[in-house]
Amino acid sequence: MALDHRLTPEHEELRRTVEAFAHDVVAPRIGAYYERHAFPYDIVREMAAMGLFGLPFPEEYGGMGGDYLALCLALEELARVDSSVAITLEAGVSLGAMPLYRYGSEEQKREWLPKLCSGEMLGAFGLTEPGFGSDAGGTRTTAVRDGDSWVINGTKCFITNSGTDITGLVTVTAVTGRAEDGAPLISTIVVPSGSPGFTVAAPYSKVGWNASDTRELSFRDVRVPAANLLGEEGRGYAQFLRILDEGRIAISALATGLAQGCVDESVRYAGEREAFGRPIGANQAIQFKLADMEMRAHTARVAWRDAASRLLAGEPFKKEAAMAKLYSSDVAVTNAREATQIHGGYGFMNEYPVARMWRDSKILEIGEGTSEVQRMLIARELGLGRG
């Protein structure tokens, strides 16, 4: 299969539009939110007005009629400046709205997607639990059918977009029964914000992504309509595996943006900062660092676009998504470390964007599947047995 990763005029126009927005709107304002650990509602409203939350969804549901590549292009450009706003968009679309679009009934789509696509409402995906991170099959949250309702009990952790003023729903994975062999049947159920018994904890104190919203959620006899079941009962595990496969491409694009942002900031700094009578960019040691950083960012971009191309073509993409996520997250951490080194003492000061990038990079090796999980997935796709 021949893949052409050059962008169409429409995709390039979108990329340039988001690039300008990130540079002109996000960059001057996000530092203050980051330092206060505050959610940037005004920036998110402007992102919503641009249609970014509806990028990959059909117009009939209030979307922009684009595709997953369009979403990933926006994520990369935002993350070149700041990862908090990028992860807010990624989680709102890939984890919040996409499960409804992929698996929801027509009635569910009509009810929820227009508000999610417009950015009037944010959605979240309640998967991870305190005792089970990578082993999501160990879900302890339960949902018991009681007449025309599901009654949900359990706890979720590290859930992005789950406690903002505009959060409207959380799609929760829960055990709804047992198979004949005793294996848990995991289903996904939409829980509207504000449901009685649904408690949202205070925001976490995080190392990075400080201008995004991340919380622990608890469900104590939360009763929702039976019609809030998303897709078939017992198919929740398979659903979230597909959602995570797609999400890894989006996270890879975000990680690539961070890696490229480290290059952007370091090239700028190397041209301005002087030492021993000349710009530090004239020193070969700095030049070689920057050349390697640019090479890594470019290769990461090729990797995520390859995975996205396969997704859009309806071809298998699980291995390519895992490789892209694994490589780009590693590149993000490496480039952030090198950018900090190039900036010297200023790289340790929060007023410089690379300080945020350094803090934000590490979670990319953990969230939406750790690097170890990605290696496991790649090995399985190579036909190697479970260890």
Alpha-carbon span 118 to 376, nearest angstrom: 37
Which of 233, 249, 265 is the C-terminal boundary of a domain? Answer: 233
Residue 157: give its domain's CATH number: 2.40.110.10
Average pLDDT of the chain to the nearest whole number: 94
Q: Residue 274: its pLDDT value, please?
A: 80
Band (pLDDT 50/70/90 cuts) for residue 205 is very high
Rounded to an integer, the average pLDDT of 138-153 is 94
Residue 78: give its domain's CATH number: 1.10.540.10
| Lowest-confidence pick of 69-73, 78-82, 113-117, 180-184 | 180-184
- pLDDT > 90 in the chain, percent: 87
Answer yes or no: do 197 and 273 share one domain: no
Are 117 and 59 in contact, with CB atoms under 8 Å apart?
A: no
Structural domains counted in the chain: 3
Q: Residue 340: its pLDDT value, please?
A: 97
Amino acid symbol at 377: L
Q: Residue 237: its pLDDT value, please?
A: 86
Out of 10, 368, 372, 381, which one is annotated catalytic?
368
Rounded to an integer, the average pLDDT of 46-61 is 97
**Would 348 be classed as within a structural domain?**
yes
Band (pLDDT 50/70/90 cuts) for residue 386 is low
For helices 68-79 and 9-21, the axis angle rounded to 10 degrees is 30
Which of 167, 201, 233 is the C-terminal boundary of a domain? Answer: 233
- Whether residue 135 is predicted with pLDDT greater than 70 in this model: the reply is no
Q: What domain range includes position 366?
A: 238-381
pTM listed for this prediction? 0.95
Q: Residue 137: its pLDDT value, please?
A: 65
Element (H, E) at 281: none
Q: Residue 310: its pLDDT value, please?
A: 95
Q: Residue 131: its pLDDT value, please?
A: 75
The full length of the chain comes to: 387
Q: Residue 36: its pLDDT value, please?
A: 95
Rounded to an integer, the average pLDDT of 16-26 is 98
Rounded to an integer, the average pLDDT of 138-147 is 93
Rounded to an integer, the average pLDDT of 31-47 is 97
Backbone angles phi, psi at 218, to 5 degrees: -130, 145
For helices 318-343 and 353-361, the axis angle rounded to 10 degrees is 140
Band (pLDDT 50/70/90 cuts) for residue 2 is very low
Q: Which residues are registered as beta bridge partners of 173?
A: 188
Rounded to an integer, the average pLDDT of 88-98 is 97
Could you read off the pLDDT of 277-332 as tens digits, one per residue? 898 898 999 999 999 999 999 999 999 999 999 999 999 999 999 999 999 999 99
368 is catalytic: yes
Residue 287: give its domain's CATH number: 1.20.140.10
- Whether residue 174 is predicted with pLDDT greater than 80 in this model: the reply is yes
Alpha-carbon span 100 to 116, nearest angstrom: 10
For helices 318-343 and 371-381, the axis angle rounded to 10 degrees is 150
Rounded to whole angstroms, what are the CA distances from 263 to 18, 270, 284?
A: 18, 10, 16
Q: Compare 150 and 2 and report the one with higher pLDDT.
A: 150
Q: Residue 275: its pLDDT value, please?
A: 83
Band (pLDDT 50/70/90 cuts) for residue 136 is low
List b or e across 277-314, with b for residues whose CB sees 16 or more CB atoms inside 10 angstroms.
Answer: eeebbeeeebeebbeebbebbeebbebbbbbbbbbeee
Answer yes or no: do 349 and 257 share one domain: yes
Residues 54, 19, 298, 305, Cα dihedral to 10°: 20
Task: Give the DSSP per-residue string, 214-240.
Answer: EEEEEEEEEEEEGGGEESSTT-HHHHH
Rounded to an integer, the average pLDDT of 357-382 is 95
State the maximum Cα–Cα separation within the chain, in Å, rounded to a whole number. 79
Amino acid symbol at 378: I
Answer yes or no: do 205 and 308 share one domain: no
Which of 69, 93, 122 is the C-terminal boundary of a domain? Answer: 122
Comparing C-alpha atoms, which of 240, 242, 231 is closest to residue 129? 240
- Whether residue 13 is predicted with pLDDT greater than 60 in this model: the reply is yes
- The span from the first CA to the last CA of the chain, in angstroms, equals 32
**Would 281 be classed as within a structural domain?**
yes
Check the CA dihedral 284-287-292-293 and report its sign. positive
